[in-house]
Amino acid sequence: MQLSISLLEITRAIDSWLNSVFHPHLAYGIELVLAGVAVILLVVAMAILMVYAERKLAGFMQLRLGPMRVGKWGTMQAVADVMKLLLKECLTPTNSDKLMFRVAPFVVTIVSFMTLVPIAFAKGIQLWDINIGVFYITAVSSLSVIGILMAGWSSNNKYSLLGAMRSGAQIVSYELSGGLALIVVVMMSGTLSISGIVQAQADGWWIIKGHIPVIIAFVTFVITSTAELNRAPFDLAEAESELTAGYHTEYSGMQFAMFFLSEYTNMFVLSMVAATVFLGGWMPFHIAGLDGLNHFMDYIPGIVWFFGKTFFILFLIVWFRWTFPRLRIDQLLKLEWKYLLPVSIINVLFAAFIALMGWYL
């Protein structure tokens, strides 16, 4: 009936076929590789799509057309960019810390891919339904700061160092409110697992039935994730007009492309998390009691719902970027420590009260 179920059947079919041909351990290994490759391909493809979409969107917001010449409507523009970066020389500055300089982009990229593990793309399409999914994502995503600090330090460039330090301060600060925003939903759903949270929204998304605390948490989460992504208006770590290119000033070619890729991957992951936690993930739009509507919504496959919500949040993030000026470093930290964090803490208390009383719909 639904595409999501058919996707589930495909994965099950592959699983049983592999088990019948190979030794179960080998089959498990093959499945891991297949799943990894599939997810990486998906993410790279989506990153390319997103780069194109962002440039087009920016164009339309700025009274111009954006890429037009490479392929029809410039659709191949991002592909050309990626190809070009692949073929470009990778320079390592003479006085840099060479090992760290070369490892840093890998750290950042691997961390951003690791955060994809517990994401549920559709019903049953999930790499690992780990029971502490939300916790895993918050824990792993904060590791990327290590890669950024490595990049900034090893480049032997003062702009890079400044950028990395800014990024460190920023990511460490904004982790807090981001985590607290997720806790609100975790408390209401009563589970940390991603699939559990999605299931809890079968009768309505949290943003609708969760009252004010979830709306506050959603807004906080979108702000903090923009900050964690180092994107405008929080792009201080790579502030072009101040620090030329921040922590990746010295990176060229593919190494730079990996930073770029990880930024876009992180953007996806955080949008996907927001979509899952607050907007119901692959769960269609349901209103308890209206069975006709619910059935109609069920006809739209879960994967469409999921990516639709993800792209909505991505659009928000892109919209911020092309609208707002950049904050200053002290204002950035002030926003977190003086406004977002107290609000989040009070919000958690408020949400706990509501969750205890069962006042959500």
Partner 1 sequence: MDVNKNTEPFPGEIYEDETGNTNFLVSSIDKLSNWARSNSLWPLTFGTSCCAIEMMSAASAKYDWSRFGFEVARATPRQADLIIVAGTITKKMAPVLKRLYNQMPEPKYVIAMGACTITGGPFFYNSYTVVKGVDNIIPVDVYIPGCPPRPEALLEGMMKLQEKIRHSRAYVIDKPKKEENDD
Partner 2 sequence: METNDIKHDEFVINVGPQHPSTHGVLRLELWLDGEEIIDSKPHLGYIHRGIEKMSEALGYKQFIYLTSRMDYLSAHINNQACSLAIEKGLQIEAPARAQVIRVLMAELTRLASHQLWWGALGLDLGAVSPFFYAFREREMILEIFEETCGSRLTMNYITPGGVVNDLHPDFVRKVKVLIEQLKGNLHEYYQLLTGNVIFQARTRGVGILSAEDAVSLGCTGPVARASGVKCDVRKLHPYDGYDKVEFKEVLNDKGDNFARYWLRIEEMKQSIYIIEQLIDNIPEGSYREKLKGIVKLPAGEYYQRVETARGELGVYLVSDGKKEPYRVRFRTPNFSNLNALRPMMKGAKIGDMVSMMATLDLIIPDIDR
Question: Would you tell me which residues interact with partner 2 (CB under 8 A)?
Answer: 58, 61-64, 158-159, 162, 166, 232-233, 235-236, 239-244, 322-331
d(CA 261, CA 41): 12
The neighbour count for residue 303, using CB atoms within 10 Å, is 17
- Of residues 141, 318, 144, 339, the one with CA closest to residue 232: 318
Residue 168 near which of partner 1, partner 2, none (CB within 5-8 Å, type-dependent): none
Residue with Cβ nearer partner 1 (79 or 100): 79
Residues 223-262 vs partner 1: string with x where CB under 8 A? -----------------xx--xx--xxxxxx--x------
Beta-carbon contacts of 5 under 8 Å, excluding residues fewer than 6 positions away, are 123, 124
Residue with Cβ nearer partner 2 (141 or 170): 170
Restricted to residues 72-101, the positions that interact with partner 1 (CB under 8 A) are 74, 76-77, 79-81, 83-85, 87-91, 93-96
Report the residue from 64, 292, 356, 357 that binds partner 1 according to the rule CB under 8 A. 64
User: 182 and 211 in contact (C-beta within 8 Å)?
Assistant: no
Q: Three-state DSSP class for 204?
A: coil
Q: According to the binding rule CB under 8 A, does residue 103 interact with partner 1?
A: no
Smallest distance from the beta carbon of 258 to partner 2, in angstroms? Answer: 23
Residue with Cβ nearer partner 2 (89 or 330): 330
- Of residues 111, 98, 82, 139, the one with CA closest to residue 266: 111
Beta-carbon contacts of 144 under 8 Å, excluding residues fewer than 6 positions away, are 107, 108, 111, 112, 171, 262, 266
Binding site for partner 1 (CB under 8 A): 55, 59, 62-70, 74, 76-77, 79-81, 83-85, 87-91, 93-96, 240-241, 244-245, 248-253, 256
